[in-house]
Amino acid sequence: MSEEELLYDCIIIGGGPAGLSAAQYASRLALKTIVLDKSKTAGALAFTNKIENYPGIITPVTGAELLDIFRTQAVSFGAEYVESQVIGAMLDNPTKEVFTMEGVYKGRSVIVATGAMGRKPSLKGEKEYLGKGVSYCAVCDAAFYKDKTVCIVGESDEAVKETLLLRRFTDKVFIIAQTENRKLLENPQLIAQNIKVLVNKRIEEIRGGEVVESIVLMDKTSNKQEILPMDGVFMYLHGNAPIVDFLNFAVDISDDKCVITNRMMETNLEGVFAAGDVTCVEVRQVLVAAANGCLAALSAEKYLHHRKRRKLVWG
């Protein structure tokens, strides 16, 4: 095969909703497109047990089922899909190189869509019950916990915000802080909403059968354990880190380690775009990731064809 034949118009790193939406738009715009995806089961959507807020999907589906639909649609428009982990990239030149364990892929544009599952589950039971009572996203999952007992683990502003959101669905809400956090104990909104604030406690284990049933708490002063019945555990310990290690700071990364883009998903490097949870997006949702992917592909097409404006995609 000639060099030209091996050169992709668009290499998409990551096969979640952001990457696969980008692939669908790019291939439908006749760009030679490949998706390099570490694994069909590794992204945030793949972990999700039940999705009922993606427009057009009326009956709740699992994340894996929704991903299958995204993937089938992208491939039907001509995108290649390869399961392979990207370990490095050279992105400054017009021909960009993307490195995997199996070989090097060359492309004229790259879309980074690797998501934000970089934080490793650290608590006993956290990984096992992810999507079965353990969640990282109250906006996504609060509706599943109507009138149930839930706790938020963490003490950041985000944790407090998500606690108040959960309180709209149930009055049995705990927030658990590892430190003697006076600010949390005296927070007027938490007091007004009758939220139980537990400070100086550490979660030792999340337990259950098919789904979460209880948590084991350790009081850090008395060193005594207690078991609290629990239906949902929302983790806000360190946030979810965007997966950017393989980029080695090739593009601008924020202090929070997310890829900085403008509103058309362009990074600081020509021909390099990013979409979905890996970017500094405020709302991490499938719909937002998919919309980002669409914009990134349109921006890539505009860059490749030296257009002044993005192409219209209907008709």
Ligand X SMILES: Cc1cc2nc3c(=O)[nH]c(=O)nc-3n(C[C@H](O)[C@H](O)[C@H](O)COP(=O)(O)OP(=O)(O)OC[C@H]3O[C@@H](n4cnc5c(N)ncnc54)[C@H](O)[C@@H]3O)c2cc1C
Residues that bind ligand X (CB under 6 A): 13-19, 36-39, 42-45, 47-48, 51, 53, 85-86, 113-115, 117, 130-131, 135-137, 140-141, 243, 246, 276-278, 284-287, 289
How many CB atoms are closer than 10 A to CB 134?
A: 24
Alpha-carbon span 19 to 89, nearest angstrom: 17
| Nearer residue to ligand X within complex by CB, 110 or 197 | 110
Task: In angstroms, give the least distance from the CB of 241 to ligand X.
Answer: 11
Cβ closer to ligand X: 86 or 198? Answer: 86
In the complex with ligand X, which residue's Cβ is closer, 97 or 226? 97
Distance CA 58, CA 165 (A): 24
| Residue with tokens 């938020």, as numbered in its chain | 152
Collapsing DSSP to helix, strand or coil, 295 comes out as helix
Beta strands in 159-259 (DSSP E): 172-176, 196-198, 201-208, 212-219, 225-229, 232-235
Q: From the CB of 182, what's the least distance to ligand X, in Å?
A: 31
Identity of the residue, 96 or 201, whose beta carbon is nearer to ligand X in the bound complex? 96
Give min distance, CB of 278 to ligand X, in A: 6
Minimum CB separation from ligand X for residue 185, in Å? Answer: 29
CA distance 199 to 178: 6
Tokens at residue 10, please? 């668009």
Least distance CB 137 / ligand X (angstroms): 5
Q: How far apart are CA 276 and CA 283, in angstroms?
A: 9
CB nearer ligand X, residue 234 or residue 303: 234
